[in-house]
Chains A and B, each alone.
Chain A
Amino acid sequence: MSLLSVLLQVATDLAPVAKMGAGIGAGIAAIGAGIGIGKIGASALESIARQPESVGDIRSNMIVAAALIEGVAFFAIVVCLLILFL
């Protein structure tokens, strides 16, 4: 009961605090992108270590996959920016 009233007070009196949601969302998006690209980098390095002559192929595939994952992270960033500026 008191938690609800605290939340209601935050939502009405301290409206700019709502923008904190944008910051939290952006942080979580960064975590997601970091984990995803970290996994790609790890498996790319491992496969380069296994077969050093395929460095070129692995490098280009790694960059493509990283760009695609960053695209998804940028969705979250765009939503957070919309919260802040709309």
Chain B
Amino acid sequence: MNRGIISLNLSNIAFKFENRLMIRKLLHTARLQVVLFALLLSGFTYGNTDTHDTVTSPSVPAHEQTEKKAFNAGKMIIEHISDAHEWHILEYNEFQLTIPLPVILLDNGKLVSFSSGHFHHGHEAYRGYRLMTEGVNEGKIVKTLEDGETIDASAKLPLDFSITKNVLSLFVSVLLLCLIFISIGNKYKKNPNTAPKGLQSVLEPLILFVRDDIAIPGLGKKDYARFMPFLLTVFWFIFLNNLLGLVPLFPGGANLTGNIAVTMVLALFTFAITTYNGNKNYWKHIVNAPGVPWWLKIPIPLMPIVEIVGLITKPFVLMVRLFANMTAGHIILLGFMSLIFIFGNMNIMAGYGVSVFSIAFGVFMSLLELLVAFIQAYVFALLSSIYFGMAMEEHEHTEEHPSEH
């Protein structure tokens, strides 16, 4: 028995020691990752303290040299979450790394396209157009008069079909989605009855999750298959774009789902599909809701108006929910990082001190943002499937409105 206890003790000690080694190794890598991430985050934001109108790059000779402006947190945050005609990657002292994106304008039927580098960040006009950097039309392209310099205030803005930062990010994420899912689809087609391997096994649980927890609860077991392509696309599109928005390196970090135009289009898709699939029961409930007294419908159709407002509100809420969640997350993260520079401008040691808390909170917020990225995609797809289900619901001959039968 003694030997048994000794061997148990030894194996116990060995196990604990191994555990401690493992944990220490894990801690080292986790700490390293946290430090690297913090450095990256702070380096990235440090690089973006100034906007266009400060230190000039050597390729633009015609500006006066202005000194480094004070850190303007609000401006920095707005720039990071909004769209732009160029992709500003980093800026270090006098070295700016931006990718000028193509500008494509439709001006009274005339198609004009050139690189946005010609605008030199809004300092110069090119071919009769100018990029505004302040005022009501900030960030937009306006027409200039014949001299090429002064702005034509009476002309309408040209239609802007440029490849902006968000459009390029959209292309990148669509390319990624197509690559991943077409390759998985082919793998499923080629080996239909074998166990999934590799990328398939990573994505299969989520695809089954969309089917079992999003499509079937909303649509029922009979017709869910018709809507699976849309629900899968919407879920993965939103999830991938949310995740890409959190990555600070080049093709990520463009805040695409925080652009209300993108979320509006997604919500319009849901609205269009709901309307297209509405059966007679659905329209009857909107125009002539059963069980409602007649005097709410006949002289002034109050009930139909309320129902139609409800019809419009549902996609509108979908749009605003996704937009606000993503934008708010980015603003919070950027706000905490800019806190470092606000304090640093007052007193450099205060800046260093705040940076510890800012980075810790930033890491926590980033983890929360990962969760929110998934949840927002889930909620959008879930609500879409519930609306589709409601649009196709059959009339239930239950205990409701016995007076009508």
Residues of A whose CB lies within 8 Å of any CB of B are 60, 63-64, 67-68, 70-71, 74-75, 77-78, 85
Contacts and interface: CB of A to CB of B under 8 A. Distances in A.
B320 A78 contact: yes
Interface string B73-113: 01000100000000000000000000000000000000000
B328 A74 contact: yes
13 contacts: A60-B213, A64-B378, A67-B376, A67-B379, A68-B321, A70-B321, A71-B320, A71-B321, A74-B324, A75-B320, A77-B324, A78-B320, A85-B74
Given A60-B213, A64-B382, A85-B78, A75 B324 contact: yes
Contacts of A68: 321, 379
Contacts, number: 34
Interface in B318-355: 320-321, 323-325, 328
B325 A70 contact: yes
A63 B324 contact: no
B317 interface: yes
Interface of B: 74, 78, 213, 317, 320-321, 323-325, 328, 375-376, 378-379, 382
B394 to A, nearest CB: 25
Contacts of B78: 85
Contact of B317 (A64, A71, A77): A71
Given A63-B375, A67-B376, A68-B379, A74 B213 contact: no
A78 B379 contact: no
Given A71-B379, A75-B320, 19 more contacts: A60-B213, A64-B379, A67-B321, A67-B375, A67-B376, A68-B321, A68-B379, A70-B321, A71-B320, A71-B321, A74-B320, A74-B321, A74-B328, A75-B324, A77-B324, A77-B328, A78-B323, A78-B324, A85-B78
A9 B8 CA distance: 82
Contacts of A77: 324, 328
Best-surrounded residue of A60, A67, A75, A77 (most CB of chain B within 10 A): A67
A78 B375 CA distance: 19
A71 B382 contact: no
List the 8 closest A-B pairs by CB distance, nearest first: A74-B324, A71-B321, A67-B379, A78-B324, A67-B375, A77-B324, A77-B328, A75-B320
A79 to B, nearest CB: 10
A56 to B, nearest CB: 10
A55 to B, nearest CB: 15
Nearest to A84: B74
Nearest to B326: A74
Contacts of A64: 378-379, 382
- Which of B213, B321, B323, B378 gathers the greatest number of chain A CB atoms within 10 Å? B321
A60 to B, nearest CB: 7
Contacts of A75: 320, 324
A75 B318 CA distance: 11
Nearest to A85: B78
Contacts of B317: 71
Contacts of B74: 85
Contacts of B323: 78
A8 B376 CA distance: 43
Nearest to B376: A67
B272 to A, nearest CB: 21
Nearest to B260: A78
A60 B213 CA distance: 10
Given A64-B382, A85-B78, A71 B213 contact: no
Contacts of A74: 320-321, 324-325, 328
Nearest to A66: B375
A74 B213 CA distance: 25
A35 to B, nearest CB: 19
Which of A74, A77, A78, A85 lies at the interface centre, i.e. has the most chain B CB atoms within 10 A of its CB?
A74
B239 to A, nearest CB: 14
